[in-house]
Structure 1
Amino acid sequence: MASSSTASSSAQLGLGLGLGLGAMGGLGLLLPADREHDPELEPCSPPKGVLRLRGAVQHYEWGSRGDASLVARLAGKTEEGRPCAELWMGTHPAAPSSLASDDGGAVSLREWLARNPAALLGRAVTARWDGDLPFLFKVLSVAKPLSIQAHPDRELARALHALRPTTYRDANHKPEMAVAVTEFRALCGFVSVQELKDVLRTVPEVQMLVGKEDVVKLMTAKEHDGGIGVRSYLQSAFTKLMATSKEAVAAAISKLKSRLNGEIKIRTFTEKEQLVLSLEQQYPGDVGVLSAFFFNYVKLSPGEALYIGANEPHAYLSGECVECMATSDNVIRAGLTPKYKDVQTLCSMLTYKQMFPEILQGVLVQPYVIRYTPPFDEFEVDCYSLPQGESVTMLPVPGPSIFLVMTGEGEIQADGMPDEGVAKEGDVLFVPACTEVKLHASGSGCLQLYRAGVNSRFFC
């Protein structure tokens, strides 16, 4: 992720507060040759009409089924026997959204945007991201842990796409952010030096696979010795673990289970030990079971968010979330999956930073609206929670938005609305740049919507 949106180190940037929605109303954009964008020079062009969209459902095996799946409920697919794992809202060719129409037409959002990108996306967004929507908006229903994975930075994404285009299907990076809708669990980033020492001291099965030399180096490392030495030791140890033969991994996991079964009557298992045993039941003999000891165990409450930069290891474990990311589907996997594993690439690409990830609580930018601002240009997420009878206005912003109605009923008013503007659970709407949107909660309960848009700081 070069610059604020592309360097893998961007995950270290602090929480960007962004601008309040109201503060964006008067901004417009022009693109002189010597500047990427200038918000003071371009007035907002007239809106081109709000669109209702159909999102695309992905039926990955780790997804929830039936009424237990938020994705299925939002998409109206609760009767299907297949798992409903993800709802995609965007232009990525792997699962593009289409325009909702009664005549059964199948015009994709990408095709529609291509007809007039400057007016629909705004000039600055069009120029920066080549006339495409820069973000991909999703809902995830996670019933079973996803793979141990990482997403490449732009340079690596281009190289992987050129080398294996059927596996790595685009050349873009994929920073992402998950906003918890329910209690949400994940593994993310490497544990601290001290916690890693505790693992090596108390988990002999991991110590055996890592090897004595790397164990000694890590056990004698200081928490703050400049970082480079510790990172190289960690990389060596983690790579050895992940590259261990299937037979040796299976034997180590068997020893781990036997040891813990013998200790269950004399002590209480740690949360990480409980997690590892749960992972083993779902992915028996997988090296990802043991690698979990190396990662931070993150628990998000509803309304909390986690952002993940390029080249950072992670795995979603359970729960439901709204997710937003740069428009990409690049994933390098190395464990907890039956899919293709690219262990060498993953182990070589990681930053090996050791810290607990930043948890975003969101910032109240106007009544009933909380904003989550990651350190990436491509996206931000707003959560609108309107009590019965209340209203709120999103003033025009110089970039596109996608709205998803999560719960409740209400009304949406905007220039170019194709219908009476009824808003109900599962509705998805594309709002062009420079369009004012008024929301009103007219149902019996709270109207909750999520909005994805280009990061407000991009327009500053």
Structure 2
Amino acid sequence: MAENNNTEIKKRKRMINKPLRLQCAVKNYNWGIVGSKSHVSRLFCLNSGTHINPNEPYAEFWIGTHESGASFLDHGGLSLKEWISKNPDVLGDRVLNKWGGDLPFLFKVLSVEKALSIQAHPDKELARTLHKSQPSLYSDENHKPEMALALTEFEALCGFISLKELRNVLCTVPEIVDLVGGADAEQCFPVNEFGRSQEVKAIVESIFSQILLSSKDEICEIISRLKWRLNLEKKKRQLTDKEMLVLRLEGQYPDDAGVLAAFLLNYVKLNRGEALCIGANEPHAYIRGECIECMATSDNVVRAGLTSKHRDIQTLFSMLNRRQGFPQILKGISLNPYTTRYLPPFEEFEVDCCVIPQAASLVFPSVAGPSLFLFISGNGTLSAGFSKEQIVEEGEVLFVPAYMEFTIASQSKELHLYRAGVNSSFFQAF
């Protein structure tokens, strides 16, 4: 018996001192890209060894410990969360003391063909309240700040438009004025852009809430008129980007109040390699494209439009951050010739994008927290303090414990990978 225990301890130490291969989960939500045309379908099938269903939408590839889409040790039958709970030292002392025996971040790939809902994620205090009162809808007690890093051209709605843009909407979209009433619409015109912020926020909230709380019949009639007008006008002029987006959303979600609400949100277009940060309580919706997504470990979503799922409009209004203006776009900072780092203003996570050319190698220095690695294309080798090199290739996902230095060398024309880890600023604070 003692000999068996010693063997098990030695085996566990070997596992702690090297990267672990993971098998990860997929989500087939109906807004995903169908068949083999997406990063999600390709990565999941390479990771799991399964075939792509040509008729199935592939929406999200989950990497992490959240129970809604847990990752497992390759062929081990043990979830990553269970393994970490047995080996908490792999998180590093600072991460363990701050967040307990779990990863503080969740890593995903998204392939978006059809718009996701207009939504926001609660802060920690509200998340605890929602989980306690409605655990079937809100599955955990954590907040969910997130970052979307574009793999392709990526479209999103995020945050409320400025007062100047709101005035333009009310001058050019008569259907919204008819819905909310001329008197309510006119109240924004005497307000100065630099006037009292609470007054400006109240106006935005009033118009946004009236749209989302309007009756189904009112919305159907208003959207019908809007659609007729825009289709007539596009024969005479070039529609604006927002007008074309609204027509596209109407085609996906007919008679949905979110189609009109989109006029009040910033329309963001990311180029590949650009990132968008979304804080707690920030209204947003992903529209189309593919991205790497990283967030605090949570799956809490409060929805209000562009969805057939449960809408919790009153909760959304109670929690919204009504900050106005276009959101900041992150370009990333260069760490070395092969690595770009994206540092959001959230301590739970950061993301590195690494592109290693053929025959080149990159040293990943020891860090005080755990990391998740996703190999998105190419192949190469990984070497560390253990004797045998590991082959790494597209579709593979690795968990790397804290305080491990290793080297990855590219054997293909280009080895493209992403790393998620705890934000460097968290460790610098010590």
TM range (shorter): over 0.9
Aligned positions of 1:1-40 closer than 5 A: none
Structure-2-length-normalised TM-score? 0.93
Q: Percent identity?
A: 54
Q: Paired residue for 2:19, among 50, 72, 96?
A: 50
- Decide whether the 8 Å contact of 2:121 with 2:302 is kept in 1: yes
1:64 equivalent to 2:33? Answer: yes
Aligned positions of 1:203-214 closer than 5 A: 203-214=173-184
- Decide whether the 8 Å contact of 1:383 with 1:451 is kept in 2: yes
Per-residue deviation at 1:415?
A: 3.2
Per-residue deviation at 1:414?
A: 2.3
Per-residue deviation at 1:453?
A: 0.1
Question: Alpha-carbon deviations, 1:244-266, whole Å to 9, x = none?
Answer: 01110010000101112222222
Q: 1:131 aligns to what SS in structure 2?
A: coil
Counterpart residue number, 1:13? none
- Once residues 187 and 211 of structure 1 are traced to their aligned partners in structure 2, the CA distance between those partners, rounded to angstroms, is 25
Counterpart residue number, 1:345? 315
Counterpart residue number, 1:6? none
- Once residues 54 and 194 of structure 2 are traced to their aligned partners in structure 1, the CA distance between those partners, rounded to angstroms, is 53
Counterpart residue number, 2:420? 452
- Decide whether the 8 Å contact of 1:50 with 1:415 is kept in 2: no
Question: Alpha-carbon deviations, 1:60-97, whole Å to 9, x = none?
Answer: 00001221111010111423532110000000011100
Question: Alpha-carbon deviations, 1:285-324, whole Å to 9, x = none?
Answer: 0011111100111000100000000111100011100000
Counterpart residue number, 2:396? 427
Counterpart residue number, 1:327? 297
Per-residue deviation at 1:420?
A: 3.9
Q: Paired residue for 1:147, among 104, 114, 117?
A: 117
- Kindly provide the amino acid, as one letter, of the partner of residue 416 in structure 2: Q
- Once residues 282 and 142 of structure 1 are traced to their aligned partners in structure 2, the CA distance between those partners, rounded to angstroms, is 13
- Kindly provide the amino acid, as one letter, of the partner of residue 111 in structure 1: E
- Decide whether the 8 Å contact of 2:157 with 2:267 is kept in 1: yes
1:92 equivalent to 2:61? Answer: no
- Once residues 293 and 166 of structure 2 are traced to their aligned partners in structure 1, the CA distance between those partners, rounded to angstroms, is 29
- Decide whether the 8 Å contact of 2:64 with 2:106 is kept in 1: yes
Per-residue deviation at 1:173?
A: 0.1
- Once residues 289 and 238 of structure 2 are traced to their aligned partners in structure 1, the CA distance between those partners, rounded to angstroms, is 25
- Kindly provide the amino acid, as one letter, of the partner of residue 82 in structure 1: E
Aligned positions of 1:241-256 closer than 5 A: 241-256=211-226
Aligned positions of 1:370-449 closer than 5 A: 370-416=340-386, 420-443=389-412, 445-449=413-417
- Once residues 203 and 251 of structure 1 are traced to their aligned partners in structure 2, the CA distance between those partners, rounded to angstroms, is 14
Counterpart residue number, 2:158? 188
Q: Whose RCO is larger (CA < 8 A, sep 6+)?
A: 1
- Decide whether the 8 Å contact of 2:36 with 2:54 is kept in 1: no
1:121 equivalent to 2:91? Answer: yes
- Kindly provide the amino acid, as one letter, of the partner of residue 60 in structure 1: Y
1:109 equivalent to 2:80? Answer: yes
Greater per-residue helix proportion: 2
Per-residue deviation at 1:116?
A: 1.8
Counterpart residue number, 1:277? 247
Counterpart residue number, 2:187? 217
Counterpart residue number, 1:40? none
- Kindly provide the amino acid, as one letter, of the partner of residue 268 in structure 1: Q
- Once residues 268 and 49 of structure 1 are traced to their aligned partners in structure 2, the CA distance between those partners, rounded to angstroms, is 57
- Once residues 231 and 58 of structure 2 are traced to their aligned partners in structure 1, the CA distance between those partners, rounded to angstroms, is 35
Q: Where do 5+ consecutive residues of structure 1 fail to align?
A: 1-45
- Kindly provide the amino acid, as one letter, of the partner of residue 452 in structure 1: A
- Once residues 411 and 69 of structure 1 are traced to their aligned partners in structure 2, the CA distance between those partners, rounded to angstroms, is 26
Q: 2:383 aligns to what SS in structure 1?
A: strand
Counterpart residue number, 1:169? 139
Q: 1:238 aligns to what SS in structure 2?
A: helix
- Once residues 448 and 229 of structure 1 are traced to their aligned partners in structure 2, the CA distance between those partners, rounded to angstroms, is 48
Equivalent pairs, count = 409
Q: How large is the RMSD of aligned CA atoms in angstroms?
A: 1.3
Q: Paired residue for 2:53, among 79, 94, 104?
A: 79
- Kindly provide the amino acid, as one letter, of the partner of residue 265 in structure 1: K
- Decide whether the 8 Å contact of 2:16 with 2:87 is kept in 1: no
CA pair 422-261 structure 1, distance change in 2 beyond 3 A: same
- Kindly provide the amino acid, as one letter, of the partner of residue 74 in structure 2: A
Per-residue deviation at 1:47?
A: 5.5
Q: 2:109 aligns to what SS in structure 1?
A: strand
Structure-1-length-normalised TM-score? 0.87
Per-residue deviation at 1:115?
A: 0.6
- Decide whether the 8 Å contact of 1:47 with 1:415 is kept in 2: no
Q: 1:218 aligns to what SS in structure 2?
A: coil
Per-residue deviation at 1:156?
A: 0.7
- Once residues 218 and 48 of structure 1 are traced to their aligned partners in structure 2, the CA distance between those partners, rounded to angstroms, is 61
Per-residue deviation at 1:423?
A: 1.1
- Decide whether the 8 Å contact of 2:127 with 2:141 is kept in 1: yes
